[in-house]
Amino acid sequence: MTHRLRSDSGQALVVMVVFMLCLLGGVALTLDVGSWYREHRQAQTTADAAALAAAQFLPNTVTAKSTAQTYADKNGGSLDAVNGVAFTKGQLDNDTVTIHVTRTAPGFFSKLFSIDSATVHAHAAARSGVPVAARWAAPIAVNRLHPMLSGTGCPCFGPSNQTTLPLGKTGAPGAFALVNLDDSINGAVGASTVGQWISKGVNAYLKLTDDGGDYLSDPGAKWNDGPIQDALQARYGTDLLFPVYDTLTGTGSNAEYHVIGWVAFHLTSDVNGGGNSGSISGYFTSVIWDGIQSSGGTTTSDFGVHSIELIN
């Protein structure tokens, strides 16, 4: 029987061509998928920025929606045409805004495989809420019964509601409206430390009393001390964050303020008087402040201080 000799050289070339096509296709798809992933990250950045910006104006949904659109436009736009901005209830009505971004990410090499583009989606939700812990607080205690906090139609905010905060005896022997914001300090706090707390705030997230905060009085009348006077003067025209209390018990350094919330005070003038009595002038104001919201339902008193958080 006669056998015909055959050459296999052409088969290797075919295999190589097929392999190169698969390799080029894989590289092309990898490049496009990477491009689509970057587009998704940019869309997520847009959603996050728009949600955080809009949440500052809640529960005013009209202003919040226009703000979300403005921030989205600055970061590439593409809010979803149907559900771009939505408002829901987290703990209070319209306290949560959700942003949906939809973008078309074009394909380049993937067009070789009839894939012209990919649609990427991103969403972000942000909530405005009363903080159960706040950062950068100053050590001046405000009584819940202050007329601008508990009067008819109040809390009352803004320049048209000018008022004074008393800096004198607050109802317990040895208590003069100063609060010790550092529980590692026993007894009286030095005037220089109090001055730093007023000028910069305390660099710690301070909890409400019922959530683990312990706020003892800083005993003694020291409003005329230089560091405190200098700190107050340096804060003219700015907002300070003060703890709000409803009860004060005990005496001296053991007098304890039961802190139930936070309030912002716009300081317009210095200490009037001093020693055992005095006051500072200004007005309460609504602010967005560095704080931590409750992870569940909360009954924290709302004195106009809110914090903003992304919630997913």
pTM: 0.81
In SS3 terms, the chain reads as CCCCCCCCHHHHHHHHHHHHHHHHHHHHHHHHHHHHHHHHHHHHHHHHHHHHHHHCCCCCHHHHHHHHHHHHHHCCCCECCCCCEEEECCCCCCCEEEEEEEEEEECCHHHHHCCCEEEEEEEEEEEEECEEEECCECCECEECCCHHHHCCCCCCCCHHHCEEEECCCCCCCCCCCEEECCCCCCCCCCHHHHHHHHHHCECCCEECHHHCCCEEECCCCCCCCHHHHHHHHHCCCCEEEEEEEEEEECCHHHCEEEEEEEEEEEEEEEEEEECCEEEEEEEEECEECCEEECCCCCCCCCCCEEEEEECC
Q: Where are the domains of the chain?
A: 12-128, 133-310
| pLDDT single digits (tens) 172-196 | 877 888 999 998 888 788 999 999 9
| pLDDT single digits (tens) 253-289 | 889 999 999 999 999 986 776 666 778 999 999 999 9
Task: Please state the rounded mean pLDDT for residues 202-215.
Answer: 92
| pLDDT single digits (tens) 97-107 | 999 998 876 65
| pLDDT single digits (tens) 15-62 | 555 545 555 555 555 655 666 577 778 888 889 999 999 999 999 999
pLDDT computed for residue 305 by the predictor: 96
